[in-house]
Amino acid sequence: MIAGLISLAMGVVALLVGWNHWRYRKQETINLLEAAILRPTGEAPLPLRKLDWFLKYLQAILGLILGPLFILTGAAIILDELELL
């Protein structure tokens, strides 16, 4: 049961991360840690390189594919534990 809940939670998080990255895929965004480091120094973030753009798309696609997969796996584990499947 716990494994199913963990898988379900991981799937929801992966799906939300994938959706968020897909939504902002054409904008130059920085993460919170980088913003916290750059704020006190007054520096501007470096421009994104081709590898950064590729990884942004890859993370979005993997989140959108693996999120529902983990959700279905978690639901199947939970339903199997409850003997409904």
- Residue by residue, DSSP assigns 15-34 as HHHHHHHHHTTTS----HHH
Q: Which helix (H) or strand (E) holds 76?
A: helix 50-81
Rounded-to-5 percentages of helix, strand, coil across the chain: 75, 0, 25
Q: Output phi, psi for 48, to 5 deg.
A: -75, 140
pTM over 0.75: yes
pLDDT digits (tens, 9 = 90+) for 23-82: 988 888 887 888 899 889 888 888 889 998 899 899 999 999 999 999 999 999 999 999
Residues 14 and 66: beta-carbon distance below 8 Å: yes
